[in-house]
Structure 1
């Protein structure tokens, strides 16, 4: 009999293990595919925006040299190259033009490639007297063509993109006018983003990047012949072109790459007419984090189910033992009493173990509740992000149209609006990241107003989506208590979310949150105008696993009450006299001490 029971238990364990592995593999595979596709879609939009931004920046200066080449003052400077007065006038004119168009430098070369006038004529690093005949942009313009070329400045050592155009007089090229654009201006709007943006030349050398330490490095090792050609062209001066040790097929339009032991989703746009590869690298760390959270959740769920199954089986086993003990009770009364006592002690120990296991998973359930709430908010948050994205696209398209019409004032206005919208989206993302992080469990002296405002900011999209009005009555003077800010913010978010759900069928959806002080006790109240709490449910509201929702677990209010109790406070609920319910959080005011206080 024991051998048969052991074999059956082992078979059940193997079945549980098989189901666990099958669920884990299927869930992880689905989450990876879904998250990867979502990350690819989001970053394709970022890549398109960066590509358009790059093209628009280059197009801003493309035709300026051609306009300058027809000006009389430029032609006279080349004809009267020995006239110092004429050259001074030309220098001042180029400096004025350079200041207006916002370029790095504007300068004039004679037919031999020597600079005779420049916007930086008064600086110590002036180009005047320098010969740039070796530059391809001069050689193209000398042949009567429009020149475009990227290189490090031989004088300044800074990255620049050069636009050149021949100065023609009497059907003869008598000089070349050049406008230099500072390439670092393209990067400044893309710094600090989660994604990394970079542009590489035909040799896969990075010359534009939001990651500064990647500049002038190649994605793949360069051959000695290519390195020698780069040195001869002096495009990167004497910079040593090192390899970033990239692993993966980076020639694919969409692929996974490992750069310096960090993994990214790489999207590439190779349609640039300059022959460049424009690339965005998005870290896949969020996907791995979500997969880790999924594995943890499934593991906890199966552990809980396994514990419940084990307890049920143990209970059945004890019942069988009790029946057997009753049969032998007449002959071995004392032995049976000892058996029952031993079984009772074993049951108590098992219950103690189960309670300890449940307490150990409480913190993980709190974090899971956060993520579940974020899932509920996903629709409204997605709507809150999609509207700025649509507006950004519209402003960008309008900016291109205005740029084609040379209406720079409207271009600047549209770009300013795009910057404002991206800052708004970044603020929403930062709020979600802050709310999702785990609590350290330590109590600190904090101000309550910032915690309430943070909870409001997090739920603002859901309030907007559900057409619910939130009014706040917060005193101007900071009210400080000793609490854990992350957990307290989660409790306030849960109460506000419950208040919105309670008013789904109400015509006038209004939630109020107040903060007052009564007898050195800070009181936060969340009031709604919903259907209120059933009188029979009110005494059981904070009991574990008690819920009035069809899909609820009944742990939210119970865990919230335990957290508030650990903060030496109290969480209570009652019905309003008119309509709706009131949830109150009471916390003692922190005593003022001459110590450093940690505030939000």
Structure 2
């Protein structure tokens, strides 16, 4: 171990002890604060539960007072009045949820009741004796094996003497149903310590042991229980079931109005967790701070020792990087030259593909140019003869035909020149019908030579699209010539050309050839199904057509037709007047 690390052997244990002591102080303080907050909340919960129970019992008390002087309970010495009184009490019990309603005379003999199994004599009960004294009697106990709370209201004769008492029996289990299972655990015990009302049914029947702390089950077993005081708070540690906390804060509150004592058991686990989190946070901060200082000190000293070694390595690596950098520059220059050569080669291949296509169309083009030339010659000779004869009108008509044929030849030559040079033009309004007419006119000689039947339902008027006239003609020419090539060895040769004005605007070109072997690759450069040769093309036509259609916002797709053969669809953007504006 290095000499400068030895002083840390003493500092680290002292620092850890200090952190442990500080953590303990923070935990104790945080636990005290959390218990105080928990106690205040427990007091509120207990007060709320006590008020709820007192309010529910108060309803039955008021009902007993109101029913005591009901006219239906008068002159019960008459048998016919007793039956009506029983029906009245039964109806009130059904509507209020009372366990039983009893009317007894001054001697405690039951005259009328809501239930058939009501006791016959209640003179010995403390609540009835209290009522005979002219006051409201109350008590709790069992009735028919069920927990009940009794309210006895005196019934006065016209002279003011007590003539009997109305006893209303409240069903405690019915009252508990509204708040059973709520948190926290609440229980109400009587003067003897028995649990009479609670929202935890497993505690029913438990009572206070002889020592006066905790509870004992009805079978006499106390279960795991321990209690202690912490900062003025009574803590119970108990193992009484899964629905009761293992450690709880215990608070009690007397309820003289109902003769019970309310108690609450609030789980202290959140307080312990909160104190633990606070202590852990302080410990983590202290340890992180100490570790940071320790690491910073070691790092500073280590860096000082490693600096010399690092400087030597940097110098060595700098020399190596300089050499590598020079080699990389040379490789980059070589790659740039190779890319430039590849670009030139690709451009040459594209141009070669176009010239190959022109070569394939040379016979048809020669025919298309030869016919107008022969016609021009014939019209010129005829015009000269008509001039000699003085028929100027016929000679003028011949000159018009000669001019029209010359424009046709010029248009064919212009298309060929543009196709060969790959001229670019700004997208503008193009008549799709005129472009198709021009292409079909150029290939008409070859269609006749190959014996191909043309099916073309030509629209009566122009169909305007956004594009380039020459480039669109190049696309249609490429698709038509490919279709003618595909049908060379077919017995049935049929070419279908259709224009669907949509939307979307679509041009369909379908043949009866053998179809497409791999539709996914037909637009890839250099992909072709033709034999390699000077006159069969290099697989660039469809790739060029795809780029031309994309250049003015269109799309081209190819697939195999359901009737056999290949089918190409060219989707174009219709020309909108807003585009022109």
Greater RCO, 1 or 2 (C-alpha within 8 Å, sep 6+): 2
TM (normalized to structure 1)?
0.45
TM (normalized to structure 2)?
0.46
